[in-house]
Amino acid sequence: MNTRLACKSNTAARKLYGGAAASFRLDLAQEAFINYKSRCTIIMVCTLSTGNGLPLLTLHGLNGKVYALAVQSAPILSYWSFSVPLLSTQVRLEMMNAVVASLLGASAMAVAFADPRVMIESTYTGTEGLNDLAKKAWNGKYMGTATDVKQLGDPYYIQQLNDTHDFSLITPTTSMKVRSQGKQGVFTFDDADKIVAFANKTGAQVRCHTLVEHKQVPEWVQVLEKAELLEAMSNHITKLMTHFGNSCYAWDVVNEAINEDGSYRESFWYKKTGKEYITAAFKTANAVKNKLGLQAKLYYNDYDINVANNKSDAVLAMAESLRKDKIWVEGIGFQSHYSNNDTVRGADIFLNFRRFTYRHMDVAVTELDVRTSTANPTVSEQQQQVGIMTNVISACKKSQRCAGVTTWDFVDTYSLTKSSAPVLFYQPDGPKTPLVRKATYDAITAGWIL
């Protein structure tokens, strides 16, 4: 018995597979074309049926691949794929190692219309990388990524990080944080120095992160009283800014000081000093910058502030208050950690950016990732990822004073939330194996191009 492709449009028909326990027909239920700058992407929804028309499973096609859905009592152990010549309705469909483990009789078949869990890979064929495209945006942007020393041992990772056509800025994820002074007066810069040296070798800028934050405060700091604490903080800021000097394109001076409701986070720093530690941190950073003649931009950095809400209102008010006292907050970092089911409109992000840029502050997307429910997300989750990333990038592109976008690492393997497939590349065979670009890479390209 044969399996065949029966297209309602009669565009293609082909014998696919023989000898199955039942007779199947693959019906092209619908096909649609989306025109994007003279390129066409076919999206197909197909139904695999028995001879009497009872559907066994549904296949969803996106960007050149059809992904098989699981069927009750008839699991598909691999996947189907097809190729579509651009600007043509010709379809070639071939089965790729698909195995039907078991089939019930047609009258007893039950169907599970689940969402397939297959990674959607990049179809971008342009010659320009992400940073190349960013540089063409209004006022010239950068495309950057976070990294840290453990990643530098992966040769495939390093090969990609070396490519400044994609990334021209690097942010150390953890190696510059307050734990770099694990004991009072004893600074350990080894890891951070390796990141800076790598960036210097490739010609990438470094976005230095961070001088003051509420996490990972060393024990010796926690026993200090207010005056000693503020002095120790000032010394820490001075030491780091002096050590790294003009290697830093920007510094996150204070990180995550505001709650969702707009109140100040009840952090260790706040409990000891109130909001005075924020003022002192920026005052010290400005003084060191001026004394040493540094070029680094001084940023406040936080999450969940991408649109107008209580938290972003509070950040704006805090920055304005400092600036009125001539304590310069020169930019705001919008971390941009999302989940795939978040509702994200580029227009809302752009309008919120404008509230800050109108007040002569730069803005930057500093830690972009979009989490899904698992490391093996469904196709629909990945489609949501793509939409969110494109909208974030397009908002930065349209904002004159958006400096650029940094992803929170670029390979799922090394992301701090690697179990949620949040970034641009994955390694199907694990660490220290070749990287594969995902559809999220294409989302970034689309954001810069559109």
pLDDT in tens, 407-421: 999 999 999 999 999
**145 in the same domain as 98:** no
DSSP letters of 262-280? SSBP--HHHHHHTTHHHHH
Please pick, among 213, 256, 330, 381, the residue that the annotation labels catalytic.
256
B/e letters for 138-174, b = 16+ CB within 10 Å, e = fewer, are: eeebbbbbbbbbebeebebbeebbeebebbbbbbbbb
pLDDT in tens, 200-233: 999 999 999 999 999 888 889 999 999 999 999 9
Parent domain of 342? 130-449
Summarize the confidence of residues 141-159 as an average pLDDT: 97
The whole-angstrom separation of Cα 186 and Cα 262 is 36
Res. 69 pLDDT band, cuts 50 70 90:
very low
Among residues 31, 121, 330, 367, the one annotated as catalytic is: 367
- What's the mean pLDDT in 28-44? 28
Question: pLDDT value at position 114?
Answer: 57
pLDDT at 247 over 60: yes
Q: How confident is the model at residue 102 (pLDDT cuts 50, 70, 90)?
A: very low
281 lies in some domain: yes
Bigger pLDDT: 69 vs 167: 167
Residue 116's pLDDT is 86
Which residue among 56, 74, 108 closes a domain?
Answer: 108
* 352 assigned to some structural domain: yes
Pick 17 or 381 by higher pLDDT.
Answer: 381
Residue 12 has pLDDT above 90, yes or no: no
62 and 179 assigned to the same domain:
no
- Please say if the pLDDT value at position 63 is more than 70: no
Residue 183 — pLDDT band, cuts 50, 70, 90? confident
Mean pLDDT within 293-316 = 98
Q: Is residue 277 in a domain? A: yes
CA distance 437 to 56: 32
Q: So what's the pLDDT on residue 180?
A: 82
Is position 314 within any domain?
yes
Q: What are phi and psi of 294, to 5 degrees?
A: -75, 155
- The residue-averaged pLDDT of 336-345 equals 96
- pLDDT over threshold 70, residue 89: no
Q: Which residues contact 332 (CB under 8 A, 6 or more apart)?
A: 299, 300, 301, 302, 305, 315, 319, 356, 361, 362, 363, 364
Position 236 scores a pLDDT of 96
Q: Provide the number of structural domains found in the chain.
A: 2
The torsion angle over the Cα atoms of residues 297, 399, 365 and 407, rounded to 10 degrees, is -120
| pLDDT above 80 (res 77) | no
Share of the chain above pLDDT 70, in %: 75
In a domain, 115, yes or no: no
375 and 234 share one domain: yes
* Per-residue confidence (pLDDT) for residue 435, from 0 to 100: 98
Instruction: Read off the pLDDT of each residue in 98-103 and give the average, rounded to a whole number.
Output: 28
Cα–Cα dist 203/157, whole Å: 17
Q: Identify the domain boundary among 76, 108, 140.
A: 108
Q: Is the pLDDT reported for residue 338 higher than 80?
A: yes
pLDDT at 149 (0 to 100): 95
Statement to judge: residues 186 and 264 lie in one domain: yes
In terms of domains, do 92 and 134 share one?
Answer: no
- CATH code for the domain of 432: 3.20.20.80
Beta bridge partners of 17: 3
Whether residues 35 and 175 fall in one domain: no
Which of residues 6 and 282 earns the better pLDDT score? 282
Same domain, 67 and 151: no
Q: State whether 286 and 327 are in the same domain.
A: yes
- In tens, the pLDDT along 319-337 reads 999 999 999 999 999 999 9
Assess if residue 308 is contained within a domain: yes
- Is 413 within a domain? yes
Give me the pLDDT at residue 1, please. Answer: 28
Residues 86 and 142 in one domain: no
Q: Looking at residue 215, what is its pLDDT?
A: 85
Q: Is 302 exposed, middle or buried (0-12, 13-18, 19+ CB in 10 A)?
A: buried
User: Average pLDDT for residues 390-405, to the nearest whole number?
Assistant: 98
Task: Note the pLDDT of residue 422.
Answer: 98
In a domain, 104, yes or no: yes
Overall average pLDDT of the 420-430 stretch:
97
Least reliable range by pLDDT among 164-168, 212-216, 233-237: 212-216
Annotation says 367 is catalytic: yes
Is there a single domain that holds both residue 95 and residue 156? no
pLDDT at 424 (0 to 100)? 99
Check whether residue 185 and residue 250 sit in a common domain: yes
Q: Are 98 and 136 in a shared domain? A: no
